[in-house]
Chain A
Amino acid sequence: MGADAMLEIRDLHARAGDAEVLRGIDLQLRPGEVHAVMGPNGSGKSTLAHVLAGKPGYEVTRGRILYDGEDLAALAPEERARRGVFLAFQYPVEIPGVANNYFLKASLNAIRAARGEPELDAMDFLGLVREKMKLVHMPETLMGRAINEGFSGGEKKRNEILQMLLLEPRLCILDETDSGLDIDALRVVASGVNALRGPERSMLVITHYQRLLDYIVPDRVHVISEGRIVHSGGKELALELEERGYAWLEKAPPGAEAAAP
């Protein structure tokens, strides 16, 4: 089992600072699959995203994360990125003084070098970035500005999806990409994400609301509560959650394995 999984998370326990936030996550993602992870605030959704991307300050205390059969937790964040792991941030960081286009080019060329591809020169990069910007309706003026500085909430999220389109990762982790977006921006962002869907690419879509899943339709939906996956189902589970809320699942006794401390 799991031999063909791109991402296999087994009994994952992780701490953020002193607090144990993840308490036994099990999850498998095969190539081409899109899984949604839903759950109430504070359930551990974003922690899962950060642990997968390798954010300093998070510590795996038990269990394993296998990516292509390799121990992901042993890799530095940049090494994960170079192997195709991408996190679209819930709160993209503003970086004054560093131009967005400079950053995107440096990033793309770092990833390309890791894939054994030649660096793109300024002209080729410009052509590529223009093409991808159209997909997320991003004005070119945002390229010359500092990374995310003074960007609106929607512009920041578009910038995340733009990076994803440029870097063409194999595992996309979307952390509450829908938060703070109006319906038009949500459509644009979702169509950018959908443009990347393919048989070799997997996605983990973390969201609080079902709304995003109208546009990015998942193969599986997992509900996370208090650091464990308490329920999994097909895409219709998202609709049920929208109607009934999370309370009925949080109260439900989890499976025996998941309940073990």
Chain B
Amino acid sequence: MKELELARDRWLERCEQLGAELSEGEPGFLRRLRREATERFAERGFPSPRLEEWKYTNVAALVHQPFEPAKPARGAVGRADVERIAFPVFACSLFVFVNGRQAPELSTLVGDPRKLRVESLARLRRESPGALEGRLGARVDLREHPFAALATALLDDGAVVTIPDGAQTSEPIHLVFVSAANGAAPLVLPRVLVSAGRSSRATLIVDCVSLGDGPCFTNAVCEVDCAPDAELHLVLLQREGARSFHVANVSAHQARDSRLATHTLSLGGSLVRNDLAVELGAEGAEATLHGLYVGTERQVLDNHTLVDHARPHGTSRELYKGILGGSARGVFRGRILVREGAQKTDARQSNANVLLGDGAEIDTKPQLEIRADDVKCSHGSSIGALDQDALFYLRSRGLDLAKARDVLTQGFAAEILRALPVAGLGDCVAELLLERLRGPAVAA
């Protein structure tokens, strides 16, 4: 574990230097946030597989890579790249971030700016940092998440999404974070802050892709606040190249009667770790957590979720599905916490996996902690292969074996894909997942 400590110390040095540069001119609350984050990272360092939370996911390979905080690389991505990357069907507001920094020349807002604001975090930090006070860093638990602490110590740019009270947008908002992985090994820090106003309704896609086939390390932090009666659909799409490491922390808080649906789609990267925490912080909150992870070769795809029922009358529905071929490894750990007094909680969790080959592996573990006595909680998990009878049925109707397998694989994912809140996205992802299963993930 000496190596993890050495790596931590290396990164702490960078936090000191770069943090000092970045914090120049920043108000006290931001400086304090950076300092606290640096301290938290210093305490925890990079997680060792001896920790229960990291038992199945070894970050040694990540730590060995000589990643450096990404330099601005505006010229590295052009309009043509964006058009190729952004699924064409959505016709929605597009905001592009290259190596973590907003590229306004590649971004377009569709619709009424009064219904939606997407601002650059770097610009807000400089020009009106007051808008960030009490919001930035308010939801993410830096004590528990050293990667998020590192990202916060080095925070620079990102997207600050504000959906005003009562605003209802039918057009999805597409945030594309492009890592330019051309030789240099960049650490890219996508940062997203979402405030969904009272009785607002919106759909947001946070999309991480990489250009080039070099290594990159994406360390994303997304904080979400849902005001009373807000409805937010959040699609977290990860489709980076085969040599990417992707660690993402999503922390959401829900106020009274708000509805949050997350769709976490992990389709690329050599190592992916998603930590998603949703706090149902007031009565009547409804949370839907959907996830799909698709891996092949030696990919590691790890999802840790926490559904925190803090108040009574909350409802949560969680469904994660995994498709694993080659020697891919999946991890699902779903924690449901029903706090004292959170009566009439109704929580369900399900994790289903299909293993396409003998080398694939899944570790699935529910973890229910129930401290109230009048609640409904259920969980279930399954692991299996493609149904042989179904394969024969399809083949007996003329579909060849490869096509029959594809059809069943897409069918397995259909429940997740159909629930996606953006028309056409499900079909795109259905295609993409087959592409990814067919061979090593190629960069966009």
- The residues of A with any CB-CB pair to B shorter than 8 Å are 53-56, 76-78, 80-82, 86-87, 89, 92-93, 95-98, 103, 106-107, 110-111, 114, 146, 163, 167
Contacts and interface: CB of A to CB of B under 8 A. Distances in A.
Contacts of B397: 81, 103, 107, 110-111, 163, 167
Contact of B407 (A54, A81, A106): A106
A108 to B, nearest CB: 8
Contacts of B388: 56
Nearest to A50: B392
Contacts of B393: 89, 92-93, 95
Interface string B54-95: 000000000000000000000000000000000000000000
Contacts, number: 80
Given A56-B388, A56-B392, A97 B414 contact: yes
B396 interface: yes
Given A107-B399, A114-B398, A93 B414 contact: no
A147 B82 CA distance: 38
B396 A87 contact: yes
A98 B389 contact: no
A110 B397 CA distance: 8
A53 B396 contact: yes
12 contacts: A53-B396, A76-B401, A77-B392, A80-B396, A89-B393, A96-B411, A97-B413, A103-B397, A106-B399, A110-B403, A146-B411, A167-B398
A95 B398 contact: no
B394 interface: yes
Interface of B: 387-390, 392-401, 403-404, 407-408, 410-415
Given A56-B388, A97-B414, A98-B408, A107 B398 contact: yes
Contacts of A89: 393, 396
A111 B403 CA distance: 13
A167 B401 CA distance: 19
A98 B410 contact: yes
Contacts of B398: 78, 81-82, 107, 110-111, 114, 167
B45 to A, nearest CB: 43
A97 B394 contact: no
Given A92-B393, A107-B394, A163-B397, 17 more contacts: A56-B392, A78-B400, A78-B404, A82-B398, A89-B396, A93-B389, A93-B390, A95-B390, A95-B393, A97-B410, A97-B413, A97-B414, A97-B415, A98-B408, A103-B407, A106-B403, A146-B414
Nearest to A93: B393
Nearest to B391: A56
A49 B393 CA distance: 13
Contact of B401 (A78, A98, A111): A78
Contacts of B394: 95, 103, 107
Contacts of A87: 396
A81 B395 CA distance: 8
B399 A55 contact: no
Nearest to A173: B396
Question: What 9 A-B pairs have minimum CB-CB distances, sorted nearest first?
Answer: A97-B411, A97-B414, A110-B398, A107-B397, A98-B411, A93-B393, A77-B395, A81-B398, A78-B395
A77 B430 CA distance: 26
A96 B414 contact: yes
A97 B389 CA distance: 15
A107 B396 CA distance: 9
Contacts of B387: 93, 95
A97 B395 contact: no
A107 B412 CA distance: 19
A98 B418 CA distance: 11
A81 B396 contact: yes
A251 B399 CA distance: 43
A36 B396 CA distance: 21
Nearest to B411: A97
| Residue of B392, B397, B399, B414 most packed against chain A (CB within 10 A) | B397
B397 to A, nearest CB: 4
Contacts of A96: 411, 414-415
Contacts of B411: 95-98, 146
Contacts of A81: 395-398
Contacts of A56: 388, 392
A108 B408 CA distance: 17
A56 B392 CA distance: 8
B414 A77 contact: no
A173 to B, nearest CB: 10
